[in-house]
Amino acid sequence: MSSIPQVSPSVASNRQGASSNSKLRGFLPAPEPVPKSRILMVGRNTSWGAPLQSTLKRLGCVFSFAPSLRVTSEYVSKGLYALLILDSTVPPALRKQLVSGLTGSASSIFQLFPVENGCWWLPVLLLGVECFGSPAFRTKDLPGQLTRVLRESAQI
C-alpha cells in the first residue's frame, strides 16, 4: 500500500460570463477575480455537498479530495494548497498535526462543524497563523470568507 495520498480532482465546470449581451457589458462592473487557488477537501468524498463545490467553482478554485488518514502537512506543502477544508470525520490528532506542520506557511485551514440543521465553519489556521478560538461563521458567509483568505494568500 502506497503512502502517497490518493487525491481525486474535481469535475471541471463550464462557466459562462454574467452577461452575453454586449449592450449590457459596458454598464456592468467587471467581476474582481480571485487568483486561481488550490484547495484540498479532506474527509469523506461524499460529505462535500454540491453548494460548497459550486461556491469553489464560482470562485475559480481548483479543488481536490483526499481521505483524512492519508493527508500529511508535507503533502499539503508539496501540493501548494492554499486552503484545506476538513470535514467532521477528520480525527483530532490529524487536525493538530496539520496545524503544527503548516504553522508559518501561507496555508489556511477551515473545519466543518455540524450543528442541528446546518453547520458552522471554524477557522483553525489563517495564512499560517493558528487561530483557535476565532469566531465561527455560517455557510452563507463562506464565499466571502474564502474570497478574503484566498486574495490575502495570493498577496503573500
Handedness of CA 39, 42, 44, 47 (dihedral sign): negative
One-letter amino acid at 29 equals: P
User: Is there a contact between 85 and 112 (Cβ–Cβ < 8 Å)?
Assistant: yes
The residue written with cell numbers 455557510 in the block is 139
User: Is there a contact between 82 and 38 (Cβ–Cβ < 8 Å)?
Assistant: yes
Cell of 83: 486552503
Range with the poorest average pLDDT among 9-13, 45-49, 52-56, 115-119: 9-13
**Of the CATH numbers 3.40.30.10, 3.30.450.20, 3.40.50.2300, 3.40.50.10490, which one belongs to the domain with range 33-155?**
3.40.50.2300
Mean of the per-residue pLDDT values for the chain?
78
pLDDT band at 35 (very low <50, low <70, confident <90, very high): low
Spell out the domain ranges in the chain: 33-155
Average pLDDT over residues 130-141: 90
Q: Which pairs count as long-range contacts for 51-59, CB under 8 Å and 24+ apart, including other chains?
A: 51/139, 52/85, 52/139, 52/142, 53/10, 55/142, 55/143, 55/146, 56/10, 56/146, 57/10, 57/13, 57/15, 58/15, 58/143, 59/34, 59/143, 59/146, 59/147, 59/150
Share of the chain above pLDDT 70, in %: 75
Say how far apart CA 78 and CA 102 lie, in whole Å: 11
Q: What pLDDT was estimated at residue 103?
A: 94
Say how far apart CA 38 and CA 3 lie, in whole Å: 21
Q: What pLDDT was estimated at residue 139?
A: 85
Say how far apart CA 96 and CA 101 lie, in whole Å: 8
Q: What pLDDT was estimated at residue 44?
A: 81
